[in-house]
Amino acid sequence: MKKIKLLLVFVFLLIFSHITLADAMFSPTWGFFVDLPQGYYFEDGDGRDRFSFSGPEDLMFDLVIYNGQFNTMLDLVEDVNRRLQNQGDVDFFVYNDRQAAVIKLTFANYDGWGFAVELDAQSGARQGVLPMLIALSYSPVNSGDLSLFHLSALDSIAPSIAERFYPGPITEYSYPRGEAQYVALVLDGVYAWIHENDAEAAQVMIEREFAVLRAYLNTAYLYDAFIRYYRFIYRDSFARINDAVSVTMNYFNGHRNLNDVEKRVFAQRVLSFIQGFEYERDLSGSDFINLVTTIVEGRGSCDNFSMLFAMILNNADIRSAMMLSPYYGHAMGLVDITGSGARFDDPYGTRWLVAETTAKIDIGLIAQDESDPQHWFVILLE
C-alpha cells in the first residue's frame, strides 16, 4: 500500500471536535454535487467554473473546473503542484471508471488534501478531452489537525448523478471495495452480491463522519449536522447493498407499480422483517452498524434499521425517509402512503406515516410517550 493511502487510513480513525455549517451544492452546468460540512460560505469565484469557500477554524475549500485546458490528469496535477509549490505526494487511481488523483497538500504555511477527477463530456469540450474537477481543502498549519474535515469535504464530491448514490472518492480510494461475493442474507435461502470490503469500508466512513458530527453537540447546528451525517451514510451504503435491497424487495413481492393498498401491505411486510432483527448498541463509537452488516447479519439499532427500511421502500418507488429525536434518543422510519396511523409533517408539506422499527407493532403506531412532534425532525435521504 502506498504511503499516501496509509496516511489516509490513519487519519480516518482520528477523532476531534470543531464547528462547521454548510448547504449541499449542485452544478447544473457540470453535473457535480458537493456536500460540505457545516460552516462554509461562498466567498469568491464565478459560480460556474470556480468556487472558493471559507469555513470556521480557518478552513478553506477551492474547486475549479478545467474544460480542455489539460490533456491528462497528470498535466492538471503537475500544473497545480507547480503553481502552489506543493511538496505533498500524489497518487492516481480510478474512481468509478473515472481517472482521479488524491493529493497531499503541503505548501507555504498550509496543509490539507486535494482531489481531482474527470467529469462527464460536455458540449463544446475539446474533442477527446474530458472536463476535469480539482478541489483543494486546506488550512494554516498553526490551526491544528483539521484532516477529518478536509477528507469529509472531498469525500462529499459526486462527479455526476451516477455517483450521487455511490461511495465517496476518498473512501473508495482508501478502502477499495474488492471482489464481489455471493453471500447469504438474514432471510433464509436468500443470497446477494456484496463486495468483500464493503462492510469494513462503510464502518470506517461512518466513524469518520461521526467524529465530524461530534463537533456540533451543544450547538445550534446540531440538526443540520445530523441530516448531513445520515445523508452521507445513505449515499455510501446505496451501491454497497443495492443487490441485497433488490432481492429483499422481490422476496416481499415489491415492485415499482404497486397500487395504494399493495404499497401499505409491502411496507408492513418489510417493517415486520426488520422488527425481527437483533437490537444492538455500541455506545463506544458511532452506535451505527453499517447497513452491509445489518442486512447480512440482521442486527443493529433504531437508526440503521430506519435507514434500511427507507432504502428498501425507495427501491420499490415508495417515498420513504427517516426521522430522528435526540430528545427521545430514538429514530424511526417514515413512508409516504395512504391509510390510518400517526403522521409527522416535514417542511415541504409531506405528511409521513411513522414506522417503528424496533418494536413489533403495525405501521402507523407509535408509543404515546414518544409521540410529541416537536421533539422529532425528518431526514430526507433521497
Comparing C-alpha atoms, which of 377, 210, 379 is closest to residue 289? 210
Q: What is the mean pLDDT of residues 291-299?
A: 97
Residue in this structure with the C-alpha cell 472558493, named with its chain if needed: 52
* Residue 298 cell numbers, joined: 440482521
Residue 312 belongs to a domain with what CATH number?
A: 3.10.620
CA–CA separation, 376 vs 370, rounded Å?
9
CA–CA separation, 113 vs 208, rounded Å?
16
Number of domains in the chain: 2
CA–CA separation, 146 vs 15, rounded Å?
10
Comparing C-alpha atoms, which of 16, 287, 290 is closest to residue 139? 16
pLDDT of residue 20: 29
Angle at 59 between CA 57 and CA 64, to 5 degrees: 170
Same domain for 189 and 165, yes or no, is no
Q: What is the mean pLDDT of residues 292-300?
A: 97
Residue 118 belongs to a domain with what CATH number?
A: 3.40.1000.10
Indicate the residue among 127, 150, 174 that finishes a domain. 174
Indicate the residue among 112, 144, 174 that finishes a domain. 174
CA–CA separation, 31 vs 28, rounded Å?
5
Residue 17 pLDDT more than 50?
Answer: no
pLDDT of residue 123: 62
Residue 8 pLDDT more than 70?
Answer: no
Same domain for 197 and 162, yes or no, is no
CA–CA separation, 264 vs 338, rounded Å?
7
CA–CA separation, 28 vs 44, rounded Å?
18
Each residue's pLDDT tens digit, 36-48:
999 889 999 999 9
Indicate the residue among 125, 144, 174 that finishes a domain. 174
Give the range of the structural domain holding residue 65, as residue numbers without chain letter. Answer: 3-174
